[in-house]
């Protein structure tokens, strides 16, 4: 796939699945909503193909680099942003 990065996706209790995933632009969320004090928090988003990984629940580990040529890092799915017929968009945090 063009522009994708090699990734390994492991759902909790499952086997590692090699695939090609994509970084999407970060989603910016304002917190707290409606309050005088606000802060913007960027959330990292990875797009995972549904053909290779039919479900990407919270706690799933994705090992992939941030950019081509970088060493892979471990990311943990915190929440699902969107599910389409051909891909999942998940919000991740860097694994400790």
For the stretch 5-57, pLDDT in tens is: 999 999 999 999 999 999 998 887 665 555 555 666 788 999 999 999 999 99
| Candidates 1.10.1740, 2.170.130, 2.40.10, 3.10.20; CATH matching 5-94 | 2.40.10
Calculate the CA dihedral of residues 85, 86, 92, 94 and round it to 10 degrees.
160
Give, in order, the Cα–Cα distances in Å from 56 to each of 14, 36, 39, 59, 68. Answer: 11, 36, 28, 8, 23
Q: What is the pLDDT of residue 36?
A: 59
What is the pTM (predicted TM-score) of this model?
0.85
Q: What is the pLDDT of residue 14?
A: 96
pLDDT digits (tens, 9 = 90+) for 62-79: 999 999 999 999 999 999
Sign of the C-alpha dihedral, residues 50, 54, 55, 56?
negative
């Amino acid at each position: 796939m063009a522009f994708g990065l090699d990734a390994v996706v492991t759902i909790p209790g499952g086997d590692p699945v090699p695939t090609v995933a994509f970084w999407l632009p970060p989603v910016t969320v304002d917190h707290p909503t409606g309050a005088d004090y606000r802060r913007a928090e960027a959330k990292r988003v990875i797009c995972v193909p549904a053909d290779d990984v039919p479900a990407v629940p919270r706690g799933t580990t994705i090992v992939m680099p941030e950019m081509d040529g970088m060493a892979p890092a471990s990311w943990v799915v915190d929440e699902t942003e969107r599910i389409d017929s051909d891909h999942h968009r998940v919000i991740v945090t860097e694994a400790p």
